[in-house]
């Protein structure tokens, strides 16, 4: 029996989403320029990935002055919620405590991280999403 298609972003799709979250709507060429800062990628590859992402509901396409403008259809928080929920369910049996114990046990948290987490727990506040940068 075939498994249903995933709605979670792949690593490559996350790279695209991170750029769109940071800069807002971009044309294919500008998006590719930003991706190229990390590794070479063909415009056709980016276009194909955007098509897949459009079908998954991860991005939107609108008419721009010189072609399509691509934007994120999901927020960073929504993506994090979905991916973290899947991680918690599949790896830690739904236990956030087990996840934190794992991070502590593996030495993944710096002393600064620990202090900030304790402060967030005590005050009941959470980290804000960073503001968007202007398109390059």
Of 108, 24, 32, the residue nearest 73 (C-alpha): 24
Q: Which whole number is the average pLDDT over 15-23? A: 97
Q: Dump pLDDT digits (tens) for 57-82.
A: 999 999 988 889 999 999 999 999 98
Parse the chain into domains and list their residue ranges: 11-72, 92-123
Q: E strands, 22-131, where?
A: 26-27, 59-64, 67-72
Q: Dump pLDDT digits (tens) for 38-60.
A: 999 999 999 999 999 999 999 99
Provide, rounded to the nearest whole percent, the portion of the chain with pLDDT above 90.
54
CATH number at 11-72: 1.10.10.10
Structure confidence at residue 14 (pLDDT)? 96
The whole model's pTM is what? 0.78
Q: What is the dihedral of CA 95, 97, 98, 101, to 10 degrees?
A: 170
3-state class (DSSP) for residue 69? strand
Q: Retrieve residue 76's tokens.
A: 């960073």
């Amino acid at each position: 029996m075939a498994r249903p298609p995933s709605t979670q972003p792949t690593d490559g799709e996350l790279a695209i989403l991170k750029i769109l979250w940071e800069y807002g709507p971009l044309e294919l060429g500008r998006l590719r320029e930003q991706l190229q800062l990390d590794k070479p990628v063909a415009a056709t590859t980016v276009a194909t990935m955007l098509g897949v992402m459009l079908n998954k509901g991860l991005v939107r396409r609108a008419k721009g002055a010189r072609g399509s403008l691509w934007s994120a259809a999901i927020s960073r928080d929504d993506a994090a919620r979905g991916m973290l929920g899947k991680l918690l369910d599949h790896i830690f049996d739904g236990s956030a405590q087990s996840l934190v114990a794992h991070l502590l046990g593996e030495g993944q948290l710096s002393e600064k991280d620990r202090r900030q987490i304790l402060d967030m727990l005590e005050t009941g506040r959470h980290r804000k999403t960073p503001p968007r940068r202007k398109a390059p």
